Amino acid sequence: MTYRAPISDMMLALQHGAGLEQAVKAGHYGDFDNDISAAVLEEAGRFATDVLAPLNRVGDQNGVKLADNKVTTAPGWPDAYRRWAEAGWNAVSGPEDFGGQGLPMAINAVCTEIWSASNMAFGLCPLLTLGAIEALHAHGSDELKATYLGKLISGEWTGTMQLTEPQAGSDVGALRSRAERAGDGTYRLSGTKIFITYGDHDMADNIVHLVLARLPDAPAGTRGISLFLVPKFLVDADGSLGARNDIYPSGIEHKLGIHASPTCTMTMGDNGGAVGYLIGEENRGMQCMFTMMNQARLGVGLEGVGIAERAYQQALAFAQERKQGRAPESAGKGPDAIIVHPDVKRMLLQMRAMTAAARTICYATAVALDVSFRAGDAKVRGDAAARAALLTPIAKAFSTDIGNEVASLGVQIHGGMGFVEETGAAQHLRDARIAPIYEGTNGIQAIDLLTRKLGTRGGAAVWALLDELKATVKRVEASNDPAFGATAERLRDGLAALERTSRWLLDRLGTAPNDALAGATPYLRLFGATLGGCVLAGEALAARDAGEAFGEAGRYVTLARFFAENVTVQAGALERTVVDTADTINGADAVLLA
C-alpha cells in the first residue's frame, strides 16, 4: 500500500484553516506566490510516493547495523537520501543567503508531513538537520556559518541534537558531558550521549553534531550548559573533509518502531577529546536549544499527522477491498466490502477527522512562526510569536496522540490482518508510538501549555485565540446550513468549557500549583478537541465559499460535524476532570504506594 499526499486537503488546511491566505493578504509573506507552493507540494508528493514510500517497509525490516564504529542504513536509503537532497528538498525553507529557497516554514511543514507519512524513519533525519540549521543560523559565528551552514542547508551534511544522557532525559540540566577549553578558541569534549537520532549513518558525507556539555567552571543546572558544534569529520580551511573527530557511535537501540532511524549512543573523548566549536556564548547553551525547540516540536507533531494520514489511507483501501459479511440493507448477493458497515465507517471518519484537525493545528503553528519572523510590524510579530508559542505544545502533543489513536484504529479496521506484520498497518502503530515521547513528552507539553503559555501575561494568548474561534462559531451559525448538525452547539459549549477551565487553572497556578498540574493533560486534550473542532468548521465554511476549488465542499462540512459531535463533545467532561481530579491525584500515594 503506497501513499499519496492529499494535496487538496492540505491546501484547504494551509490556506484557510491555518490562515496562510489571510497572512499573505495582510502582506506578512511579501511577494510569496501561492501557485508556486501548490506546485512544490505536488512535486513533494510525487517524490514521496515514488521514492520514499517504497522504502518504508524495507527500512522497517532491515533496520540499521553498527559495526566498526559505523552505522549502515537499510538498502536503498543512502541513494534515496542523496536524490532527495539533490532535488532541493532539504533547502525548502532554508535562508536564501546560504543557498536555501527561502520558502515559508508553512510550506516546509506540509513537506514534513509528506516525508513523515511516506516514511517516518526517513523524515526524521532532515528534521534534526533543520534544528541544527536554525541554531547555527541564529547563534553561530560568521566563521561557523560560512563553513557549515551551506552544506547543512543543501542536505549534503546532516545534523544531530545531542542533549540526552542516561541521567538527563526530560531534565536536561542534569547532563554531565564535559567540554575543556583547548586554548585556541576550540574545545575538547568528552562524555556519553544516548538516544541520539541519526547519530551516525552512511547517507551523507559529514554529520554536524550539536552537543550540549558543561565547562569545568560552569554553574550547576541548566545555567551551566554550553552548546558546541562537533563535526564527525573536521573541515579543512578549503572546506574539504579532514580528520575523523573523536565522536563515535558506541551502541544502537533495538526499538519498537522507526527501525530504519539509527538511535545511537555516542561516545566522545576516548581518543583525547572531540574537537568542538562554541555556538553562542559559554553557559548559554539552553537558550540556543530553545531556538530549535519550537520547530522541532512542531516537526514531531507533523510526524503524528503524517503517520495518521498514512494509516488512514491504508485502512480506507483495505476497507474498500476486503469483503466480509453483509450490510444490514445490502442489495448485492455476495459479501460486501467492510466499508459498508456503520462501525467501520465510524472508525474511518474518526481517523480522517482527527487527522484533519491535527494537520490544521500544526499548519497554523507554522504560519504563526512564519509571521513571527516575517511580518513588518513588531506588534504583529510579537502576537504571532505568542500564538506560535501557545500552539506548539498542542501541535506536538495532540497531534502525536492522534497519530497513535489513528494508527491503532487502522490496525483494528484490518482485523486479524492488522496484527500480521506483512500488512504494514502494525508498522504505523509501532512507528507512531515514539512521537508522544521524544522532543519533550506529551506530559511535558501539557505542563508547558499550562505554566508557560496559559500562565504568561494572564493568559493573553489564550483569550486572543478564543476570540477568533468564537467568531468562527458565529459564522457556522450564520451559515444556517443544516448539514452542520450540532456543530455550532458543540463548539460553543467546548469554547465555554475551555474558557472556564483556563480561568480556573490560571487561578490555581498562583495558589495551588499542584492542583493545576494535576489537570495539565486533560487541559491540553480539551484545548485540542475544541480548537480542532473550530478549525475544521472554519475550513468547511471556506470550502463552501470556494465553490469547487477543493472538490465537493459538503464532505468538509460532514468532517467538521463529525469531529464536533464525536471529539469536541468531550469538552465538558474534560473540564470536570480538570477541576475535580486534583484531590485524587494529590492523594494518589495512598493508592499507588500501599
**Phi, psi dihedrals of residue 162, rounded to the nearest 5°:** -115, 90
Please state the closest distance from residue 559 (CB atom) to a copy of itself, in A: 6
Of 221 and 382, CB closest to a copy of itself: 221
Burial of 217 (0-12, 13-18, 19+ CB in 10 A): exposed
Closest distance between a copy of itself and the C-beta of residue 128, in Å? 15
For residue 249, give the 3-state DSSP assignment: strand
CB-nearer residue toward a copy of itself: 48 or 517: 517
State the number of CA atoms in the 13 A half-sphere of 31 facing the CB. 0
Helix 554-566 vs helix 520-545: angle between axes, to the nearest 10 degrees?
A: 160
Q: What is the DSSP letter of 157?
A: E
Number of alpha carbons in the 13 Å side-chain half-sphere of residue 569:
11
Residue 439 falls in the annotated catalytic set? yes
Strands 187-197 and 178-181: antiparallel
**Nearest distance, CB of residue 173 and a copy of itself, angstroms:** 9
Give the CA diameter of the chain.
84
Cα 252 to chain centroid, rounded: 23
- Contact by Cβ (8 Å): 296, 161: yes
Among residues 40 and 339, whose Cβ is nearest to a copy of itself?
339
Least separation, in Å, of the C-beta of 343 and a copy of itself? Answer: 4
Count other C-beta atoms under 10 Å from residue 485's C-beta. Answer: 16
Residues 113, 439, 539, 575: which is the catalytic one?
Answer: 439
CB of 580 to a copy of itself, least distance (A): 4
Q: How far is the CB of 156 from a copy of itself (least distance, A)?
A: 29
Contacts (Cβ under 8 Å, ≥6 apart) of 548: none
CA 214 to chain centre: 29
From CA 125, how far away is CA 382, in angstroms rounded?
A: 31
Residues known to be catalytic: 439
